[in-house]
A and B are shown apart, each in its own frame.
Chain A
Amino acid sequence: MIFFIIMLISSASLAGAFYYCFITAGKTKKQILLGVTLPDQVLEREDIREIAKGYKRKINRCMGILLLIGIPVHAAMAGYVSVFFIIYMVWAVLLYWLPYQILKKEHNRMYRLKCENHWTVGETRTIYIDTAASSLAGRYPLSSIHFLISALLCLLPVYISDSISEFFQEEMAGVIFATSLFTKLALFLCYSFFAKGKNKAFSHDTKINQKCSRLKRNIMGSCMVILSYLDSISFVIMEWGMGKEQYTSHFNERILLFCFVQLIEICFLISCFVYYEKRKREILKADKTPILVDEDEYWNGMYYNNPEDKRVFVADRVFESNLTFNMGHPAGKLIVYGITVFTVVSMVWLSVALLRMDFVPYTMDIREESVKFTAGGYNLEVPLEKIEKVTLLSGLPDKRLSKTNGGATDGYLLGKFRMEDVGSCYMYVYRKYPVIIQVDTEERVIFFNTKEEEKTRELYERLCEAVGEE
């Protein structure tokens, strides 16, 4: 149930974020509409307004249909994990890809209209720099040392645990710990980007440029530092007491508290962005001598492609507060294609792995000198001489179980686990079928069953015979 609620909140946030990004692309900001820079005097033209209106209508319709499709997608959570994962991935990709195609089409239409009418805004292929604003770069109200302190905070649960090895034997401990450190790194990179990233000259008035530069560093820099601490708190909540007996008590409350702090982080981040944009708009509104540079030729096709620009990361002009890559830079191309290939390969690999776990039946092949257990991705061969004991159980022992590597769903337990008082064990267990064979070896314990009780009993008897037990 908790997983269902978490997925629902995640999906709602994802759909909300995408909808906000795409719908705001249809509003004029800094003379940019649908990613095209237009002169002030043409913004009220009938054909321009018609394109913008049509775009918003199409986005609303598309997102509405995708949300309706989302209902059966989330209902699939009740079935196989692999099926849900594949359907959900396809849905999530469509949630971005379909509105993006609409945006791209309308952007091209608007750009064609601009070229046909020879509309330009300001100068082209010109760079403006304000030396006074640039000189302010790197000065922050909060030092970058805070990222180190917040990273050290994540080490606290490891420090108070009984032993480091027991801490990392806990289910997901390694993943949670690595994620917390990775988040710190990502926030530090964002902090550096705001500190040392490009300073745009908005105006011929130096004071305006300095104000904007200070605002960006003060608001966004402090935001990243505070987010880093909040993030540490949420991970400490998750990791506190790991490797200790009482860790599993109040686990659900712990997850809810973790989600709550994460939600505060998201709200805080959005508030900072909104405040920053609002203040910047107010400052620029008072500007009497704005600098206007038409960069549309570098943004044709909705992505930035400027071989003369040595920057790899650039601020996205369509989705504000977002970063994008310069496709005119070899590193930018490499990162974009690399991420795409890595994501596709990971998704395909994960889908195949989950499908195998869900649908490949568990088998026990008793041979002359060994017994081989096979299941989706988790095969194990044990020499008969190493088997110490074979027992037929009428259910799994009522002991604390933590997953090391494998799958644990409502339907099955598969892979490497650790069981209280037992230690390392291999599971090939369908949860709904209580008749289970327990195989004790020198190194580990193996639990195995099939979906047919008779077959499980028969395998038990054959294994006893092979091992030489009565």
Chain B
Amino acid sequence: MIIRLENKTDVPIYVQLRNQIVMGIGKGELKTGEALPTVRQLAQDIGVNTMTVNKTYQILKLEGYIEIDRRKGATVCAVREATAEFKEKLEGELELLSAQACLKGYEKEEFLKLCADMFDRMNAASLSSQEQGQGFGGLVF
């Protein structure tokens, strides 16, 4: 998966990194069971402190997108049931987006179509990398 981070925005790097990884999992670019780079290597590649990447990984772990094993490192988790807490968060964000779209003059159908298109782009990682036969060069992580 290619991660793209911008230095020119006000969004902190750890937030950008978290969003990119979540979108990568959502689009199926990161498969279930696939290993993420080590904290040190990713920090080296981005050019940030290891604490920044560690923070991202801890957030992703808390949100249930990845699991961290001492031996295997960070790996993408299988899709899990949405919690009530997540539903509440989603509703809050959708409410804000709906308000903004409404204020900018979007019609309901137009807004819903946009949401549907975005949702269709997602290919949730329901299949593991082995099942899809697209492992990373047969490497064992």
Contacts and interface: CB of A to CB of B under 8 A. Distances in A.
Interface of A: 124-132, 134-138, 196-199, 201, 204, 206, 210, 291, 306, 308-311
Contact of A128 (B4, B24, B136): B4
Contacts of B114: none
A132 B3 contact: no
A308 B7 contact: yes
B7 A131 contact: no
Contact of B36 (A126, A127, A135, A310): A135
A204 B46 CA distance: 16
Contact of B41 (A126, A128, A137): A137
Nearest to A329: B47
Interface core residue of A129, A137, A201, A310 (most chain B CB under 10 Å): A129
Nearest to A197: B44
B103 interface: no
B6 A125 contact: yes
Nearest to B44: A198
Contact of B45 (A134, A204, A306): A134
B7 A127 contact: yes
A127 B5 contact: yes
18 contacts: A126-B4, A127-B7, A128-B2, A128-B3, A129-B37, A129-B45, A130-B2, A131-B1, A134-B37, A134-B42, A135-B41, A136-B139, A137-B37, A137-B41, A137-B44, A196-B41, A197-B44, A308-B47
Contacts of B1: 130-132, 206
Nearest to A205: B2
Contact of B8 (A125, A128, A129, A206): A125
B25 to A, nearest CB: 11
A134 B139 CA distance: 13
B137 interface: yes
Interface core residue of A135, A196, A201 (most chain B CB under 10 Å): A135
A127 B80 CA distance: 31
B47 A198 contact: yes
B3 A129 contact: yes
B55 interface: no
B49 interface: yes
- A-B pairs, 9 with minimum CB distance: A134-B37, A309-B47, A125-B7, A129-B3, A127-B5, A125-B8, A137-B41, A131-B1, A135-B37
Interface in B126-141: 136-137, 139, 141
Given A135-B35, A136-B139, A196-B40, A129 B47 contact: no
Given A125-B8, A311-B44, 13 more contacts: A126-B5, A127-B4, A127-B5, A127-B47, A129-B45, A130-B2, A131-B1, A135-B36, A135-B41, A196-B40, A197-B44, A310-B49, A311-B47
B48 interface: yes
A135 B47 CA distance: 16
Q: Give the contact-size bracket for chain B.
A: 20 to 34
Nearest to B48: A310
Given A135-B141, A310-B49, A204 B2 contact: yes
Contacts of A206: 1-2
Contacts of A310: 43, 47-49
Contacts of A196: 40-41, 44
B125 interface: no
Given A310-B47, A311-B47, A201 B40 contact: no
Contacts of B136: 132, 135, 210
A162 B18 CA distance: 64
B30 interface: yes
Interface in B11-48: 24, 30, 35-38, 40-48
Contacts of A311: 44, 47
Contacts of A136: 139
Contacts of B6: 125-127
Contacts of B48: 310
B47 A131 contact: no
A126 B9 CA distance: 10
A199 B37 CA distance: 11
Contacts of B36: 131, 135
Nearest to A199: B45
Given A136-B139, A196-B40, A127 B46 contact: yes
A148 B96 CA distance: 61
Contact of B5 (A129, A210, A306): A129
A309 B13 CA distance: 12
B42 to A, nearest CB: 6
Contacts of A127: 4-7, 46-47
Given A138-B41, A196-B44, A308-B47, A201 B2 contact: yes
Contacts of A126: 4-8
Nearest to B43: A310
A309 B49 CA distance: 9
A134 B47 contact: no
A311 B43 CA distance: 9
Interface core residue of A130, A131, A306 (most chain B CB under 10 Å): A131
A130 B47 CA distance: 14
A284 to B, nearest CB: 16
A228 to B, nearest CB: 23
Interface core residue of B5, B30, B44 (most chain A CB under 10 Å): B44
A131 B3 contact: yes
Contacts of B38: 135, 137-138
